[in-house]
């Protein structure tokens, strides 16, 4: 047997200090085996002695693929020992590639640390930078080589890496961030840790497990149920509205004022400015804004007013043009439509604001509509519009921008009112039915809120574990 | 046909993406749809750029009011586009040091970077800084105590504004520990965490339901106004 060119049969074993020299003793194979057996026994006894002070190990350690998930996770469960346990540590067996990578990372870290230490020491001593660099490199190489020899010595031994920690009261834990094609499957160990830090003998899974992706993501089951109920309610009321069910919708001042604003602009002979937000067509608020534009465009066509639609996205420009064209057609005045009034400015937020502010100050529009997704530009636009004396109507679903619009505009469509605009303005039974469906959603939300508040209050007063569990399920499973 | 095909595309792709959200094997479809949208939006940018040039060149040509602004816009557009496409001042990248244009067009030291750092950024910062003055003027208008609601708003705003300053902390520091909840800084935290959060969440719930309903109307073709028809 050779280790780095050294024949182990001829190694001189040095005696303890002051002992009888054993030089020249050549061990027979049997003696060597005996010595190795003794060493292993001694290590085992020492280890047993250490574990004997620790808690008893957990039993029945089982790892199973987590059901109804997207893969990459397994559930490790165990039976707690009878002795008190502070926590459990869960370890996973690494495969050869992982060990190789971990070894490489360790060598890199060791080399880096060694080089840094040398650099710090030599720089403090005033050594020339070139020499510092040279010696740091040598130190890094030496550290990496030393670690490599240690790693080679332990090569082939199973290596376990900690992957999770569980409380002493837990009997299972989810281990995620795993691969669905791990060679040979994953094996786990669970170690019980007592309050004084002593550890039990590791208990190991007997069967390897490989996580797999399921056909349905169970974590989203409640979302699916809520979606189906909400969509079902909307569809039911649309169908009911089609059958002639009478539907009422409360008056929304901001939408009722659309005709007034366009009429005012017509009287004053000034243009109407319509800004469909600063986001692209994949933003639902932009879509809702374009819907309002359709009505504004139709009214403007009827009144012969001029509507200017600057956009910050090219796709919004094309969609807005189509909408305006159709609105003018509906009003019976297709010849009055000027596509150049729907134009692209820039994607840049403050570039867009700069253009609009300048344009408002120069052209002084009589009415300004801000319908869509807005961010920091909301107040700049609304205040500029206010300063030129325009009647202003805003609608957005950005809660942070609503106070600015409320402060600076004459009318503001708050959140859901903005999305109701389409139904309100069209007055079609189909669309009004969808609003009724929304009300069912509100009822469900209100019911859940009342139930949740009651359970939370009762759990807080009684300290009941069952109520805490229900509350936790409501918060962490149903609503997550 | 012009309306029917887009409606079908919207309905099929939208419903598929909703279903895909719940099926792990199809989950990546959403990301792919986003990539397709980005490709589409990037192509549409040509339309936007063309439209910008057309309108502003016409303004300059016709000497319309404010044509000088249009001239500046066109000049800035052309210069920035040229500098970016021609990679003026770009250094070779570390990976390909032998190729003069291998560096990124916006890496530090390039002409595009210079334009961005020293022309574009200061201009946008200037626009953004206007916000401070507009907040003051809007607050002045909003906080006029015209009725009970406005007076409540004024009072709340006063507490929150003061509670976030050193003066607010100083003014109520004499309050005993048993009344610490009335200290301005604590009152501010309570206002922001309880009534303000409750109001915001109410709006958010309404918005979420509105988005779901609007999406459904669009997917089912009930609302077609975005396609240019009611």
Say whether pLDDT at A3 is over 50.
no
Query: Nearest chain A Cα to B23, which residue?
Result: A216
Measured CA to CA in angstroms, residue B121 lies from A63, A73, A436, B36, B113 at distances of 55, 46, 48, 30, 10
Structure-model confidence comparison of residues A45 and A472, the more confident one: A472
Taking the C-alpha atoms of A359, A316, B60 and A369 in order, what is their torsion angle to the nearest 10 degrees?
-20
Q: What is the mean pLDDT of residues A2-10?
A: 38
Task: Indicate yes or no: CB of B24 within 8 angstroms of CB of A442.
Answer: no
Residues of A in contact with B51 (CB under 8 A): 314, 317, 343-344
Handedness of CA B7, B12, B15, B17 (dihedral sign): negative
Cα angle: A149, vertex A155, A159; to 5 degrees: 120
Structure tokens at A273: 């400015």
Task: Indicate yes or no: CB of A314 within 8 angstroms of CB of B47.
Answer: yes
Task: Indicate yes or no: CB of B207 within 8 angstroms of CB of A71.
Answer: no
| Domain positions in chain B | 1-66
Structure tokens at A305: 């007013």
| Any B CB within 8 A of A69 CB | yes
Other beta carbons within 10 angstroms of residue A153's beta carbon come to: 10
Nearest-Cα distance to chain A for B140, in Å, is: 9
Phi–psi pair at A310, nearest 5 degrees: -80, 140
Q: For tokens 């994607």, name the residue.
A: A347
Query: Nearest chain B Cα to A330, which residue?
Result: B229
Task: Indicate yes or no: CB of B24 within 8 angstroms of CB of A216.
Answer: yes
- Distance (Å, whole) CA B4 – CA B25: 30
Categorize the per-residue pLDDT at A129 as very low, low, confident or very high, splitting at 50, 70 and 90: confident
pLDDT of residue B209: 93
Asked if A290 contacts A321 with a C-beta cutoff of 8 angstroms, the reply is no
Who contacts A299 (Cβ-Cβ below 8 Å, separation ≥6)?
A: A258, A259, A262, A305
Option in A213, A362, A379 nearest B24 (CB): A213
| Any B CB within 8 A of A240 CB | no
| Domain positions in chain A | 2-52, 59-204, 219-245+432-478, 253-427
| Any A CB within 8 A of B207 CB | yes
| Any B CB within 8 A of A419 CB | yes
Residues of A in contact with B210 (CB under 8 A): 397, 415-416, 418-420, 438
pLDDT tens profile A148-191: 999 988 888 889 999 999 999 999 999 999 999 898 899 999 99
Residues of A in contact with B40 (CB under 8 A): 315
Option in A214, A428, A437 nearest B24 (CB): A214
- Distance (Å, whole) CA B54 – CA B58: 6
Structure tokens at B34: 């986003």
Beta strands in A42-131 (DSSP E): 59-65, 74-79, 87-93
Asked if A74 contacts A212 with a C-beta cutoff of 8 angstroms, the reply is no
> What's the first-to-final CA gap in chain A, in angstroms?
60
Test the B interface: residue of A309, A407, A447 with most B CBs within 10 Å: A407
Option in B25, B37, B211 nearest A284 (CB): B211
Asked if A401 contacts A278 with a C-beta cutoff of 8 angstroms, the reply is no
Mean pLDDT (chain A, rounded): 88
Task: Indicate yes or no: CB of A345 within 8 angstroms of CB of B52.
Answer: yes
- Distance (Å, whole) CA A108 – CA A99: 14
Test the B interface: residue of A281, A373, A434, A479 with most B CBs within 10 Å: A434
| Any B CB within 8 A of A396 CB | no
pLDDT of residue B97: 85
- Helix crossing, B184-193 with B148-163: angle to 10°? 120
Say whether pLDDT at A301 is over 60.
yes
pLDDT of residue A24: 39
Closest residue by Cα to residue A352 from A307, A302, A310, A395: A310
Highest mean pLDDT among A276-280, A476-480, B107-111: A276-280
Structure tokens at A60: 């029945």
pLDDT of residue A477: 87
Residues 160-199 of B with CB under 8 A from A: none
Categorize the per-residue pLDDT at A9 as very low, low, confident or very high, splitting at 50, 70 and 90: very low
Task: Indicate yes or no: CB of A215 within 8 angstroms of CB of B37.
Answer: no
pLDDT of residue A31: 54
| Any A CB within 8 A of B72 CB | no
- Distance (Å, whole) CA A130 – CA A125: 14
Asked if B139 contacts B128 with a C-beta cutoff of 8 angstroms, the reply is no
Other beta carbons within 10 angstroms of residue A399's beta carbon come to: 16
| Any B CB within 8 A of A318 CB | yes
pLDDT of residue A124: 87
Length of chain A: 480
CA atoms within 13 Å, Cβ hemisphere of A205: 23
Nearest-Cα distance to chain B for A204, in Å, is: 31
Who contacts A26 (Cβ-Cβ below 8 Å, separation ≥6)?
A: A9, A10
Using only C-alpha atoms, what is the Rg of chain B?
27
Say whether pLDDT at A5 is over 50.
no
Residues of A in contact with B130 (CB under 8 A): 380
Categorize the per-residue pLDDT at A45 as very low, low, confident or very high, splitting at 50, 70 and 90: very low
Structure-model confidence comparison of residues A343 and A245, the more confident one: A343
pLDDT of residue A270: 96
Residues 156-195 of A with CB under 8 A from B: none
Q: What is the mean pLDDT of residues A23-36?
A: 47
Residues of B in contact with A380 (CB under 8 A): 127, 130-131, 134
- Distance (Å, whole) CA A86 – CA A197: 8
Measured CA to CA in angstroms, residue B162 lies from A268, B156, B183, B187, B188 at distances of 44, 10, 11, 10, 8
Nearest-Cα distance to chain B for A352, in Å, is: 10
- Distance (Å, whole) CA A276 – CA A292: 9
Cα angle: A29, vertex A33, A38; to 5 degrees: 150
| Any B CB within 8 A of A432 CB | no
Closest residue by Cα to residue A198 from A302, A63, A53, A317: A53
Residues of A in contact with B213 (CB under 8 A): 230, 234, 419, 434-435, 437-438, 441
Q: Which CATH number fits domain A253-427: 3.40.50, 4.10.860, 3.30.160, 2.40.50?
A: 3.40.50
Residues 97-126 of B with CB under 8 A from A: 120, 123-124
The fold of the A59-204 domain, in CATH, is: Immunoglobulin-like (2.60.40)
Say whether pLDDT at A52 is over 60.
no
pLDDT of residue A51: 52
Q: Pairing relation of β-strands A272-275 and A307-311? A: parallel
What is the per-residue burial (b if ≥16 Cβ within 10 Å, else e) of B89-99? ebbeeeeeeee
Q: Pairing relation of β-strands A411-414 and A391-396? A: parallel
Say whether pLDDT at A7 is over 50.
no
Closest residue by Cα to residue A370 from A326, A303, A403, A418: A418
Phi–psi pair at A63, nearest 5 degrees: -120, 130
- Distance (Å, whole) CA A49 – CA A59: 20
Structure tokens at B8: 């079908």
| Any A CB within 8 A of B69 CB | yes
This model of the complex carries an ipTM of 0.92
Positions in chain B whose pLDDT score sits under 50 = none
- Helix crossing, B195-220 with B184-193: angle to 10°? 20
- Distance (Å, whole) CA A479 – CA A218: 13
């Amino acid at each position: 047997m050779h280790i780095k060119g050294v024949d182990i049969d001829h190694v001189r074993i040095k005696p303890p200090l002051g002992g009888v020299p054993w030089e020249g003793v050549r061990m027979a194979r049997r003696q060597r085996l005996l010595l190795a057996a003794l060493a292993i026994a001694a290590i085992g006894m020492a280890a047993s002695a250490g574990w004997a002070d620790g808690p008893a190990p957990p039993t029945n350690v089982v790892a199973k693929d987590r059901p109804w998930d997207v893969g990459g996770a397994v559930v490790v469960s165990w039976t707690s020992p009878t002795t008190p346990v502070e926590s459990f540590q869960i370890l996973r067996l690494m495969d050869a590639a992982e060990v190789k990578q971990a070894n490489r990372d360790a060598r890199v870290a060791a080399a880096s640390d060694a080089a840094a230490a040398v650099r710090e020491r030599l720089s403090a001593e005033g050594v020339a930078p070139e020499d510092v660099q040279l010696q740091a490199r040598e130190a890094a190489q030496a550290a990496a080589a030393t670690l490599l020899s240690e790693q080679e010595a332990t090569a082939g031994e199973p290596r376990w890496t900690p992957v999770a920690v569980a409380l002493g009261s837990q009997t299972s834990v989810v281990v995620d961030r795993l691969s669905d094609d791990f060679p040979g499957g994953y094996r786990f160990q669970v170690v019980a840790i007592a309050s004084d830090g002593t550890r039990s003998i590791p208990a190991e899974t007997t069967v390897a497990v490989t996580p797999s992706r399921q056909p349905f993501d169970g974590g989203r089951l409640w979302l699916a149920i809520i979606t189906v109920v909400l969509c079902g309610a909307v569809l039911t009321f649309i169908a009911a509205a089609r059958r002639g069910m009478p539907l009422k919708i409360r008056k929304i001042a901001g939408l009722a004022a659309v005709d007034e604003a366009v009429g005012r602009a017509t009287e004053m002979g000034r243009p109407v400015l319509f800004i469909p937000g600063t986001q692209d067509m994949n933003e639902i608020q932009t879509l809702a804004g374009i819907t309002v534009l359709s009505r504004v465009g139709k009214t403007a066509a009827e009144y012969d007013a001029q509507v200017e639609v600057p956009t910050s996205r090219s796709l919004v420009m094309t969609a807005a043009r189509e909408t305006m064209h159709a609105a003018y057609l509906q009003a019976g005045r297709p010849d009055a439509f000027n596509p150049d009034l729907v134009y692209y400015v820039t994607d840049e937020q403050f570039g867009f604001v700069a253009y609009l502010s300048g344009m408002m100050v120069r052209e002084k529009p009589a009415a300004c509509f801000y319908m869509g997704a807005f961010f920091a530009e909301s107040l700049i636009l609304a205040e500029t519009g206010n300063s030129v004396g325009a009647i202003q109507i805003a609608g957005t679903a950005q809660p942070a921008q609503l106070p600015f619009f409320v402060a600076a505009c004459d009318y503001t469509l708050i959140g859901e009112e903005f999305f109701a605009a389409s139904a309100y303005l069209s007055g079609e039974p189909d669309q009004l039915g969808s609003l009724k469906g929304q009300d069912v959603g509100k009822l469900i939300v209100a019911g859940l809120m009342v139930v949740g508040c009651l359970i939370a209050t009762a759990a807080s007063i009684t300290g009941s574990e069952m109520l805490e569990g229900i509350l936790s399920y409501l918060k962490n499973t149903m609503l997550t | 046909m012009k309306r029917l095909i887009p409606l079908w595309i919207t309905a099929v792709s939208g419903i598929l993406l909703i279903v895909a959200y719940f099926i792990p094997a199809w989950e990546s479809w959403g990301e792919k749809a986003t990539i397709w949208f980005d490709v589409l939006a990037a192509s549409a940018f040509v339309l936007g750029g063309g439209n910008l040039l057309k309108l502003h060149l016409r303004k300059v040509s016709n000497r319309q009011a404010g044509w000088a602004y249009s001239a500046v816009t066109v000049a800035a557009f052309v210069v920035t586009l040229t500098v970016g496409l021609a990679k003026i001042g770009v250094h070779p990248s570390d990976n390909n040091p032998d190729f003069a244009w291998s560096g990124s067009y916006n890496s530090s030291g390039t002409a595009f970077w210079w334009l961005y750092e020293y022309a574009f950024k200061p201009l946008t910062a200037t626009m953004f800084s206007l916000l401070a003055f507009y907040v003051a003027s809007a607050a002045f208008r909003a906080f006029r105590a015209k009725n009970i609601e406005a007076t409540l708003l004024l009072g709340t705003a006063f507490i929150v504004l003061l509670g976030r300053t050193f003066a607010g902390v100083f003014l109520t520091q004499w309050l005993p520990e048993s009344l610490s909840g009335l200290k301005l800084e604590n009152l501010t935290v309570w206002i922001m965490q309880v009534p303000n959060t409750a109001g915001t969440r109410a709006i958010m719930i309404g918005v979420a339901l509105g988005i779901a309903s609007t999406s459904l109307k669009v997917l089912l073709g009930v609302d077609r106004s975005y396609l240019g028809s009611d």
